[in-house]
Amino acid sequence: MIGIVDYGVGNIQAILNVYDRLNVQACRVRTPSDLNHISRLILPGVGSFDRAMQLLNQSGLRESLEAIVLLKKVPILGVCVGFQMLASSSEEGIEPGLNWIPGRVSSFTRDSRFCRMPSPHMGWNCVNLKFDSKLFKGLDDYSSFYFLHSYFFDCDDKSYVTATSHYSFDFDCAISFDNIHGVQFHPEKSHEFGAKLLLNFAEF
């Protein structure tokens, strides 16, 4: 069973809908006891970094999540702000991140490489796969995904980066480290490419 962490932020219903269409069992996780029988986790997120971190910290789920992700090594997939929350910190706010994957979330517009593009990065963009990862099985460099963000995850150890995308410069858009995975785009809103990625996550 795939558990989608419901801490009051993010499009949980959209993820459930995709899994429903794929005939994969998925449910919401609202309390620590909901985590029993969960074999995979998805951490969604939209909005600002601080609000998402504050709500997760207040949800009563954080300790149990850390136990099953860091000790039991249950696979987890962070999506959009849920992906950024895996980092150590974010330029968008003052709340510390989960620090499960060392790195910092940075602003596009404050980056010296950023030039003459609209910000936020909004719309369909393709990805550049760095190596064969289980998450992107059956997908290629022509696969495109829906992005909606002003900040990007700058991973400290680039060997964890499974895919980059290009917007003024190349940035890390998918990271896998041990059982912890994350994607900057919205797979639940990326039609067949996103559905394939969510199916891959369910099957590994």
Partner 1 sequence: MLRPRIIPCLLIHKKGLVKTKFFKFPKYIGDPINSVRIFNELKVDELMILDIDATVNRAEPNYELISMLAAECSSPLCYGGGIKNVDQALRILDLGVEKIAVSAAAVANPSILSSISSFIGQQSVVGVIDTRSISTHFGKEYKVFTHNGNTLHKEGCIELAKIFENSGAGEIVINSIDRDGEMLGYNIELAQEIRSVLKVPLTFLGGAGSLNDINELIQACGLVGAAAGSLFFFKGKYNSVLINYPSVKQKNELFQSIF
Q: Residues touching partner 1: how many (CB under 8 A)?
A: 38
For residue 188 the two structure tokens come to 């639940």
Place of tokens 């419901």: 6
Which of 25, 31, 99, 122 contacts partner 1 by CB under 8 A? 122
Rounded Cα distance, 101 and 88, in Å: 7
172 Rama sector, left if φ>0, alpha if ψ -120 to 50, beta otherwise: beta
- Pair 90, 18: CB distance under 8 Å: no
- Pair 128, 174: CB distance under 8 Å: no
Ramachandran angles phi, psi of 153, nearest 5°: -85, 120
Catalytic one of 37, 80, 91, 95: 80
Which of 60, 96, 120, 138 contacts partner 1 by CB under 8 A? 120
* Residue among 102 and 111 whose Cβ is closer to partner 1: 111
Least Å distance between CB 187 and partner 1? 11
Which of 1, 27, 38, 126 contacts partner 1 by CB under 8 A? 126
Which of the residues 1 through 30 are near partner 1 (CB under 8 A)?
8-9, 11-14, 17-18
Contacting residues toward partner 1, per CB under 8 A: 8-9, 11-14, 17-18, 46-49, 51, 81, 92, 117-126, 144, 146-150, 166-167, 186, 188-189, 191-192
